[in-house]
Chain A
Amino acid sequence: MALLGRDLVCQQAVELVTAYLDDALSWRQRRRFEAHLRGCPNCSAYLEQMRATIATTGRIDPDSLDPEVRDELIKLFRRQHRR
């Protein structure tokens, strides 16, 4: 992509990805970012990878809970409520 005036370069666009996804860019920044993406398949692919990364992180399972710990906690709750 040509470096015209205040156009973003890829390195700058990549640094703005998180702010873009959080909708935290100013109107002007957002326009520059989106204009860059339209002309740049690499940064477009990068943005999609970042979206897939977030989706993947959201799929992490919590570890299972030790049944003994679970029983202890429920006993604690019962004791507290008998007072």
Chain B
Amino acid sequence: MIRDDDLLEQLRAGDDAAFATLVDTYHARLVRLARSIVTSREVAEEVVQETWLAVVRGIDRFEARSSLRTWLFHICINRARTTAGKESRTSPVDPQGPAADSGWFNNDGSWTSTVEPWPELVDDRIMAATLAEQAKHVIEELPPPQRQVVILRDVEGLTSAEVCHLLSITEANQRVLLHRGRTRIRSALNHELGGG
């Protein structure tokens, strides 16, 4: 992991190796993020190109009050939202019921069947990679608000506060979206591991 301070200094000095590092680290991740807001892969690529242009032009004005990463994400999200425009202005609240499958529970709220613990994945790299691939597919199918929150929280590892700020949503809303997204991923992994 590169330190922000060092990288910033090199970027401001016009060091293209530093910029290449930034591009290598973030380009695909920015495309993934933009893709959760705009309708196509091509448009997402354009959004990220614009993001880099804004970064190159704005690097001298960046005040390091946030991390370089959140600054990049912030620019990318704003560009993507502008591009998506009114056509896809969806409410961040998913109009759905509880996250869990109603079939999981009896009328008294207890589990209908035993929840089997998953095998330890630490030693099984192939299985771990298969599951990560599976999780990736589920994320691509999530409704956009859930997808954005899951990407930022669990793929990128941002804090709840950072995500709320980036997406301009409340903590409670963020948690509902995260909960639903994670619940779907967990179900797919459980299926992969032979559970119900």
Contacts and interface: CB of A to CB of B under 8 A. Distances in A.
Contacts of A63: 28, 31-32
The DSSP consensus for interface residues of chain A is helix
Interface residues of B, number: 53
Interface string B57-100: 10000000000000000000000000000000000000000111
Contacts of B132: 56-57, 59-61
The DSSP consensus for interface residues of chain B is helix
Contacts of A6: none
A11 B56 CA distance: 50
Contacts of B110: 1, 9-11
A49 B191 CA distance: 12
Contacts of B189: 49, 52-53, 56
B23 A65 contact: yes
A77 B16 contact: yes
B5 interface: no
A9 B108 contact: yes
Given A11-B110, A77-B14, 19 more contacts: A1-B110, A9-B110, A11-B100, A14-B100, A45-B115, A45-B117, A49-B118, A49-B186, A50-B182, A53-B182, A56-B128, A56-B185, A57-B185, A58-B157, A59-B132, A65-B24, A73-B49, A76-B53, A76-B56
